[in-house]
Structure 1
C-alpha cells in the first residue's frame, strides 16, 4: 500500500494586519524552524523512500530540517506543481487594501471560492487541477512511501478532491503550520487516513 505523507511548511513571520500570502517567497521564522525540526524527530522512525517539496523557500527549508534526522539519506526534490496558490495582484495586500484597489472583488471571491481568479493570479479550482496532476504522478511513483512538503491552500484543495468535498468548503479543513496529513493508495483510489496531525501526536501514535 503506497503511503503519501503531506506536510505543510513551518510558520512564517506573523504580520499584523494579516496579508494575502500565496506564492510570495517568504522565509520560516524561528518557530517555523523549530516546528520542522520537531516533525523531523517524529518522522525519523517512519520509512520514507522519497521526498518532494514546493520550490518556494519555506517548503524547501522545512523539508531540509525535517529530513536531517532521518536515517535515509534523503533530499527533497523541488516540484513547482506543489506551489501555493498564486494570488496575483492581491499578494502582500490586506483585506482593506484589496477592497480599496479592487472594489467588489473580495465579495466575489467569497461567493465563488473555487472559481474566482484574482488579476494575474489563479483560482483554487486551478490549484486543485495541479493537486490532481500530482496525485496522478504519485500513483505511478515506484517509491512506496513519499513525503511531500507543500502549502495550506494546495493541501486543502487536494483534500477536497479526495474527499469529494466542494471547494466552497475549502476553509472548513484546518491546515495548521507544520502539520501532517497521510494518504494511502488502496486499489487505485486515494484515501485520507488522517489530516492536520501535529508532531507530538504523530510521535505518540508511532511510538
Structure 2
C-alpha cells in the first residue's frame, strides 16, 4: 500500500483575517504558520519520502519547501494543479462573517450539507468536482507508487473532502469531521478500495 502524508498549509494572512481562502486567492504564511510548519518539519525530517506533491498555490508550496528543507533526503517538489483548493468563486477573499450575513442558507449548506451547496450560484466549484479531481490524483499516484511514501501538501477544504471520501464517507456527511488545522498532518495508507488512517489532523 502507498503511504500518504497529507499536510495542510501553514496559517496565512487571509486565514488570520477571517476571509475565504479558496482556490483563486493566495497570501503568505504568517510567522506562527511558519513556526508550526517548522515543528512539523522536525517531526518528519527522518521520513524517506519518495515523492513530494504540492498544490500550485504559494501557501502550499511554501509549506512543502519548509518541510523538505529539513528532510534528510528530500525529493524534488512536484506541483499538481488538481491539488488546488476548492474555487469559491464570488466568495473567494471575502469576509466570512459578511457572506454569512448575506447568504445564511447557502453558507449553512456549504458548511454542513455539501450535497445541497449551490456552487453555480456563486460561480464556485462544486464539491463533487473537487472530490473527483483530488481523488484522481491519489489513485494515479498510488498506481505509480504502490509501496512508496508520498508527501502531499494542500488545503483545508480539499483535504477534508478527499480524506473523508477515501474513507468511505458519503458526500452529505464529509464536513461532519471538521477541517484539519493549518500545519497539520494526516497519515493514510491506501490502495484501490482499501484505506487505513494512521493519524488524523496531528499538530506539533
TM-score w.r.t. the length of structure 1 is 0.85
Check if 1:94 corresponds to 2:95.
yes
Tell me, yes or no, if structure 1 residue 3 matches structure 2 residue 3.
yes
Distance 1:35 1:15, change over 3 A: closer
Q: Where do 5+ consecutive residues of structure 1 fail to align?
A: 200-207
**Residues 101-144 of structure 1: CA distance to partner in whole angstroms, max 9, x if unpaired?**
66853355457423521522102221111121112112212361
**1:115–1:123 CA contact under 8 A, matched in 2:** no
Aligned equivalent of 1:126, options 120, 126, 129 = 129
Distance across 1 between alignment mates of 2:193 and 2:114: 29
Distance (whole Å) between structure 2 residues aligned to residue 198 and residue 114 of structure 1: 29
CA RMSD of aligned residues (A): 2.3
Moved more, 45-54 or 113-122: 113-122
Which stretches in structure 2 are left out of the alignment for 5+ residues? none
**Distance apart, 1:63 and its partner CA:** 0.4
C-alpha distance in structure 1 between counterparts of 2:2 and 2:21, whole Å:
32
Matched residue of 2:70: which SS?
Answer: coil
Cα 1:15/1:42, change in 2 over 3 Å: closer
**SS in structure 1 of the partner of residue 190 of structure 2:** strand
Contact 1:115 1:125 in 2 (8 A): no
Q: Separation in 2 of the partners of 1:198 and 1:96?
A: 27
User: What is the CA–CA distance in structure 1 between the aligned matches of 2:129 and 2:82, rounded to whole Å?
Assistant: 11
Match of 1:204 in 2: none
1:149 matched to 2:185 = no
Q: Distance in 2 between matches of 1:57 and 1:26?
A: 8
Bigger mean CA deviation after superposition, 134-143 or 151-160: 134-143
Q: In the superposition, relative to structure 1, how do residues 187 and 119 fare at CA in structure 2: closer, same or farther (>3 Å)? A: closer
The answer as to 2:73 corresponding to 1:68 is no
Q: Does the aligned pair in 2 maintain the 1:162–1:191 contact within 8 Å?
A: no
Taking a change above 3 Å as real, the CA distance of residues 111 and 8 of structure 1, as seen in their structure-2 partners, is closer
Deviations 1:117-173 (A, max 9, x none): 152210222111112111211221236111000011111111221221133333332
Cα distance in structure 1, aligned partners of 2:111 and 2:42: 39
Secondary structure at 2:186's aligned position in 1? strand
Contact 1:9 1:62 in 2 (8 A): yes
1:48 matched residue in structure 2: 49
Partner SS for 2:73? coil
> What are the equivalent positions in structure 2 for 1:1-207 lying under 5 Å apart?
1-13=1-13, 14-16=15-17, 18-23=18-23, 24-98=25-99, 105-107=106-108, 109=110, 112-116=113-117, 117=119, 118-142=121-145, 144-173=148-177, 174-186=179-191, 189-199=194-204
